[in-house]
Amino acid sequence: MKKTLFDKVWDSHVVSSVENGPDILYIDKHLIHEVTSPQAFNVLDEKGIPLFRPQQVVATADHNVPTENQHLPIQDALSRKQVAQLSENCEKHNVTLYGLGHPYQGIVHVIGPELGITQPGMTMVCGDSHTSTHGAFGTIAFGIGTSQVAQVFASQCLLVAKPKSMRVIVSGDLHPDVQPKDVILYVISKLGTDAGTGYFVEFAGSVFEQMSMEGRMTVCNMSIEMGARGGMIAPDQTTFDYVSGREFAPKGEELKNKIAYWKTLPTDEGAIFDLEHQFDAADIRPMITYGTNPGMGVKIGDAIPELDDASFIKSLNYMGLKAGSNLLHMPISHVFIGSCTNSRIEDFRAAANYVAGKQKSPDVSALIVPGSQQVAKQIVAEGLDRIFEDAGFVLRQPGCSACLAMNDDKIPAGAYCVSTSNRNFEGRQGQGARTLLASPVTAAAAAVAGKIVDVTQH
């Protein structure tokens, strides 16, 4: 039988199937962070059972951490407690922790790939919906709830029904100023935020074949925003080159054998998907969202649609925007470049490349938050820190930061923030904050101009 990439990885991880029920799926790697793990550790204690495979769990502190003075104790008492609890739990259960101060600390979905923990053909989970990021490697990776975190702790397995399969093909040539973020915002704006529910998505076609690993991660990261459990891209030479040589990647003979296996993973010619969508790359332009879900996006310069729908109207009211108007040249006051969607070195190179020699607008506060300590180091090594600082941007220490504003990095009520993160939900970046999702280049350009601009026209 002809199999998809997803079938191949899934089927090789099924321990057994419950009659008329879900599969028992074996999990290779389990990533955890401070927010969704404490209650799961409690379950182990309540049941008096050990953590089954501690070597397959990796922890980091990211959601709650401050992005300034990380060497000092965390000011917020509750955040401090959550982070301390993570350290305690990891120590007690023998789990490797890259906590604050560790050179590997960072956003969980940034450090997995950069350390070579994420590899093709694996199953990976984390109590965080953007676990889909790791699918860029041809890995089945998806977010789980805390009850499931406890299940994986207890058994290294999950009870899950196999999702249906969808393929999203984007082929042709992208406009040179179009970023991977624009591609995924475009796809979600076309398909809607619930189009992927019940599906695992494979992104295929020349656009993804030519994309860097960083770009693929940005795309797969947001597959959850179209409702899918996860997204995947077939592993190829780009993938193998990225993985090779990383800290926890296989080495020597083992790597050779692995690569031979990884080469068998791409979808067989003629394999059937439950659903397929095709898009033409030439139609994609820099995107921006105008509403309170990631599907509410338009090409910069296009009008906000006029829909007679209560939820749509409620959303525009929250955003303070008018149907039929367009966002080009609209003033903004905040810019956030960071989050697991766009905080890898490539993102900062792209932003710095635009910013170099320019000054940020005096009316904008612009925050740059690297995804990990390693990215932060690389920023300095390449001199990007000076470009940003000379231009008036503020460079911070790694963490989730203003993506969900659990720490002090909040956007004030009513303010517009062009953000490279993945969610523009009401209050996501702070109570009353208004988020406009875009690529790092569009965000950098907005910081410089003090308003929304179309980088293809600059």
- For binding to ligand SF4 (CB under 6 A), which residues are involved? 62-63, 107, 109, 128, 130, 339-340, 400, 403-404, 421-422
CB of 223 to ligand SF4, least distance (A): 13
Given ligand SF4, other proteins, none, residue 193, with its beta carbon under 5 to 8 Å by kind, binds other proteins
User: Coil, strand or helix: which one is 349?
Assistant: helix
Element (H, E) at 146: helix 146-155
Given other proteins, ligand SF4, none, residue 422, with its beta carbon under 5 to 8 Å by kind, binds ligand SF4
The 3 state secondary structure assigned to 213-280 is: HHHHHHHHHHHHHHCCCEEECCCCHHHHHHHCCCCCCCCHHHHHHHHHHHCCCCCCCCCCCCEEEEEE
DSSP state of 413: T
- Torsion-angle region of 156 (φ positive above 0: left; ψ -120 to 50: alpha; else: beta): left
Q: Which of 144/444 has CB closer to other proteins?
A: 144
d(Cα 380, Cα 240) in Å, to the nearest integer?
26
CB 132 within 8 A of CB 231: yes
CB of 79 to ligand SF4, least distance (A): 13
Q: Which of 215/294 has CB closer to other proteins?
A: 294
Given ligand SF4, other proteins, none, residue 425, with its beta carbon under 5 to 8 Å by kind, binds other proteins
CB of 63 to ligand SF4, least distance (A): 5
For the four alpha carbons of 313, 184, 341 and 451, in that order, the dihedral sign comes to: negative
Q: Which of 152/400 has CB closer to ligand SF4?
A: 400
CB of 439 to other proteins, least distance (A): 21
Given other proteins, ligand SF4, none, residue 55, with its beta carbon under 5 to 8 Å by kind, binds none
Q: Which of 12/431 has CB closer to ligand SF4?
A: 431
CB of 70 to other proteins, least distance (A): 18
Q: What is the largest CA-CA distance in the chain?
A: 64
CB 368 within 8 A of CB 348: yes
Across the beta sheet with 23-26, what order do the strands follow? 14-17, 23-26, 157-160
CB of 421 to ligand SF4, least distance (A): 6
CB 287 within 8 A of CB 184: no
d(Cα 93, Cα 41) in Å, to the nearest integer?
9
Q: How many CB atoms lie within 10 A of CB 259?
A: 17
CB of 255 to ligand SF4, least distance (A): 29
Q: Which of 48/362 has CB closer to other proteins?
A: 48
Element (H, E) at 201: strand 199-204
Given other proteins, ligand SF4, none, residue 38, with its beta carbon under 5 to 8 Å by kind, binds other proteins
Closest CA to 194 of 317, 281, 313, 294: 294
Beta bridge partners of 434: 416
Q: Which residues bind other proteins (CB under 8 A)?
A: 12, 15-16, 18, 20-22, 24, 26, 35-36, 38-39, 42-43, 47, 49, 63-64, 76, 78-79, 81-82, 85, 127-129, 131, 143-148, 150-151, 154-159, 161, 163, 193-194, 197-198, 227, 229, 292-293, 309-311, 314, 404-406, 413, 423, 425-428, 431
Given ligand SF4, other proteins, none, residue 339, with its beta carbon under 5 to 8 Å by kind, binds ligand SF4
Given ligand SF4, other proteins, none, residue 431, with its beta carbon under 5 to 8 Å by kind, binds other proteins
CB of 390 to other proteins, least distance (A): 33
Beta bridge partners of 171: 280
CB of 368 to other proteins, least distance (A): 21
Q: Which of 302/408 has CB closer to other proteins?
A: 408
